[in-house]
Amino acid sequence: MNIMLHMPALLIVLPLLAAFVTPLIDKLSRKARNAFVIAIVVIEEIMMLFFAFHIFSGNIAIYTMGSSEPTKLVTEAAVPIRIVLEVDAMSAFMGIISATVAMAAAIYSISFVEESKGKGKFYTLLLIMLAGMIGMEFTGDLFNMFVFLEILSISSCALIAYRNSDGNAVEGAFKYMVVSNIAALLVLFSIALLYSQYDLLNIAALSKVISYTELDKVALVLLVTSFAMKAGSVPMHYWVPDGYSPAPASITAMLVSATQASLYALFRVSFTLYGKVITASYIGVFLIILGLLSMFIGVTMALSQKDIKRLMAYHSVSQTGYMLLGVGIGLYLLNTSDFNTYGIKAMEGGIFHIINNAMYKGLLFLTAGAIFYRLKTRNLNEMGGLAHSMKYTTLFFIIGALAIAGIPPFNGFASKLLIYEAAYRVSPILSIVAMIVSILTLASFVKVFHSAFMGAKIYEVEEAPKSMLIGMAILAAVIIILSIFPGLVVDKIVAPAAHALANWQVYAGGV
């Protein structure tokens, strides 16, 4: 049995099964449960890396669920039946992000989350969340995508409200639940619209026959708006600060990659599902405008915040804007002659920014969590002088802050530069706004650094516990690797992902 063939299913099944075994092991001993969860996330990460490099070398993996020969489609029918998983370079790219952030978050949670509140269930939900993200990224079936979307949103809402003695946590969870539920129902409705016309649910098979009727346009608009809602772009960004700030810090880091899974779904729908017909560039312009608004409004709201995690949450709205801008430019230029010159570069920038953002945003939330763990406050005005006592946390914060502000040589600079260059060719205004936002980002992180870490020693606190430092160190190490070899990363990982999105025929040819 070649294990590589079964990888797409194994990568989803492993965290899903482990999630339901975790409470049983929790009954035996807490240490055994911690060891079990860590083992699962580390194995998941290793498997994901092996599988992803198999995919990046130019393969597309197909897996038909429940078939005796899963790598082949069931051939009796003219259309693909059963649930088909399809993994191309873009899916594998997103899978690496989810698995890495989940590994860091799970290790971080060992000492961060209080034992008294049913931590076995915390880990259960964390693993279900990981399964939901990877499922959304790997599936080749629209309805299956809806199911994983709901699995992801239910588990993440429950985790936002994990500290339910805090009223704000429950409020944030309620808001996120309402937003994600409406988004999921709109997705289901647009699936119904597509199914009523083509009798198909498979994305690849649909993309071959789609003809851009009026109903298809309605479905496209519903899909794009609902995934943009879930990704926290501007008109529907209000759940992001409320949901991110009261959640445990490790969950906030996971939520960042969960919003990026929605972003992946948005790109998959607009590039692959509608790749054949999307010549009118309205959706591209729409994404560019959403991106600009998210960038600008996010960062200006962040400047005035006093709560450290709320401030970072507004920054993640603003960073989502960069990805929407980069990939939106690609969509705007798709099927034109300019696409191959600078459209694809903009997409590479946007996609590179996805992995960068997941890593540095995750790292920053984890450092904020470490500060909260020691000081029991998130208010910036009550902090100060932490650099004296929390040396490693300070170092990790500096790495994250420089990366998010786009200071060379950090990875944020590499992806932002790609976006600036391509955006300038479309319209100079776009890259001017992007640069101003980058400067404002730096300004607000200088503020955080100054008020939290600089100054005289006020608090007698210790460094964060070891497991939290290891969690942060994993993400910091990934940031440094991405910073030292940006060219290599773009060539080997990002460019295949961008090309996988840009050429819908390759994805459609897989089925």
Chain residues in the site for another protein (CB under 8 A): 143, 147, 150, 153-154, 157-158, 161, 164, 167, 170-171, 173-175, 177-178, 181-182, 184-185, 188-189, 191-192, 195-196, 199, 201, 242
Enter the tokens of residue 264. Answer: 């992946």
Q: Give the shortest CB-364-to-another protein separation in angstroms.
A: 23
Q: Give the shortest CB-323-to-another protein separation in angstroms.
A: 26
Q: Give the shortest CB-185-to-another protein separation in angstroms.
A: 5
Give the separation between CA 60 and CA 73, rounded to whole angstroms.
Answer: 14
For CA atoms 128, 136, 253, 470, give the dihedral sign. Answer: positive
Comparison of 186 and 479: residue with beta carbon closer to another protein: 186
Q: Give the shortest CB-315-to-another protein separation in angstroms.
A: 18
Q: Give the shortest CB-241-to-another protein separation in angstroms.
A: 9
Q: Give the shortest CB-173-to-another protein separation in angstroms.
A: 6
Contact 326, 354 (CB under 8 A): no
Comparison of 19 and 422: residue with beta carbon closer to another protein: 19
Tally of residues, the chain? 511
Give the separation between CA 387 and CA 393, rounded to whole angstroms.
Answer: 8
Q: Give the shortest CB-372-to-another protein separation in angstroms.
A: 20
Comparison of 124 and 411: residue with beta carbon closer to another protein: 124
Comparison of 74 and 458: residue with beta carbon closer to another protein: 74
Comparison of 21 and 188: residue with beta carbon closer to another protein: 188
Comparison of 182 and 458: residue with beta carbon closer to another protein: 182
Give the separation between CA 316 and CA 298, rounded to whole angstroms.
Answer: 8
Q: Give the shortest CB-416-to-another protein separation in angstroms.
A: 31
Q: Give the shortest CB-263-to-another protein separation in angstroms.
A: 22
Comparison of 191 and 437: residue with beta carbon closer to another protein: 191
Q: Give the shortest CB-356-to-another protein separation in angstroms.
A: 30
Give the separation between CA 331 and CA 178, rounded to whole angstroms.
Answer: 29
Under the phi-then-psi rule, with left for phi > 0, alpha for psi from -120 to 50, and beta for the rest, what region is 145? alpha
Comparison of 178 and 439: residue with beta carbon closer to another protein: 178
Comparison of 85 and 493: residue with beta carbon closer to another protein: 85
Contact 108, 250 (CB under 8 A): yes
Cβ burial 406-430 (10 Å sphere, 16+ → b, else e) = beeebbbbbbbebbbebbbbbeeeb
Burial class (CB in 10 A: 0-12, 13-18, 19+), 138: buried
Contact 94, 496 (CB under 8 A): no
Comparison of 191 and 331: residue with beta carbon closer to another protein: 191
Alpha helix (H) ranges present in 161-248? 167-198, 203-209, 214-231, 239-244
Name the pairing type of β-strands 84-87 and 61-64: antiparallel
Give the separation between CA 221 and CA 215, rounded to whole angstroms.
Answer: 10
Comparison of 83 and 433: residue with beta carbon closer to another protein: 83
Give the separation between CA 145 and CA 150, rounded to whole angstroms.
Answer: 9
Query: What are the DSSP calls for 24-54, one per residue?
Result: HHHHH-HHHHHHHHHHHHHHHHHHHHHHHHH
Under the phi-then-psi rule, with left for phi > 0, alpha for psi from -120 to 50, and beta for the rest, what region is 385? left
Amino acid at 442: L
Can you tell me whether residue 122 is helix, strand or coil?
helix
Q: Give the shortest CB-4-to-another protein separation in angstroms.
A: 30
DSSP conformation class of 202: B
Q: Give the shortest CB-239-to-another protein separation in angstroms.
A: 11
Comparison of 195 and 485: residue with beta carbon closer to another protein: 195
Amino acid at 152: L
For CA atoms 218, 176, 110, 21, give the dihedral sign. Answer: negative
Enter the tokens of residue 142. Answer: 């629209």
